[in-house]
Amino acid sequence: MTLSALVSVFFGIVGLLATEPLATFGGFARSVPSAGLGEFLAASYLGYGVMNWFARDTRDPVARRAIAFGNLTGWSLSLVLALTDILAGGARTFGWPTVILCTVFTAGWGYFATQRARAHARLRVGDAAG
C-alpha cells in the first residue's frame, strides 16, 4: 500500500507540474485536450496516493477490502487499456513500461483483494457461528 501510494503520488505530482514535458517524453502529440485530460489523470493519481497513504495502517477489514478492490479496478482497467493501445500499434516511450507497472500493481492489489475477501468471509462465518 505504501509503495502504491508513493508511485501514485510521484506520477500525480510529475503529471500535474510537468504535463507537457512528460507528454513529449512519452511520445504524445501536444494538444490542449490531451494536456487537460493528463492533468485530470494526474490529479486522480494524486488522490489515490493520498488515500492509500492515509489508509495503509488501517485494521478495518471492510475498508482494507474496499481500498484493495478500488485500486484493483483502476490498475486492471488501465492494464487492459495500455495493452490494447500497444496491440493497436500505438506504442510509445511509455507503452511497455506502463504495461509492466500496471501488471505489477494489478497482481499486487489482486493478491491483497483476494486475501482480504477471504479474511472478510471468515469473519462473517465466525460471526454467524458465534
The site for another protein (CB under 8 A) is made up of 16, 28-29, 31-34, 36-41, 43-55, 57-60, 62-63, 65-67, 69-75, 77-78, 81-82, 85, 90
Long-range contacts of 21-28 (CB under 8 A, 24+ apart): 25/93, 26/92, 26/93, 26/94, 27/92, 27/93, 27/94, 28/92
Residue recorded with cell 506504442: 91
Residue with Cβ nearer another protein (73 or 125): 73
Nearer to another protein, 55 or 107 (CB): 55
Q: CB 57 → another protein: shortest distance, Å? A: 7
Query: Closest separation between CB of residue 56 and another protein, Å?
Result: 8
Q: How far is the CB of 29 from another protein (least distance, A)?
A: 6
**Cβ burial, residue 113 (10 Å; 0-12/13-18/19+):** buried
Q: Pick the closer one to another protein by CB: 85 or 103.
A: 85
For the bound state, the minimum distance from the C-beta of residue 36 to another protein, rounded and expressed in Å, comes to 6
Q: Please say which residue, 77 or 125, places its beta carbon nearer to another protein.
A: 77
- Do 53 and 9 meet the contact criterion of CB atoms below 8 Å apart? yes
Contact 109, 72 (CB under 8 A): yes
**Cell numbers standing for residue 111:** 493478491
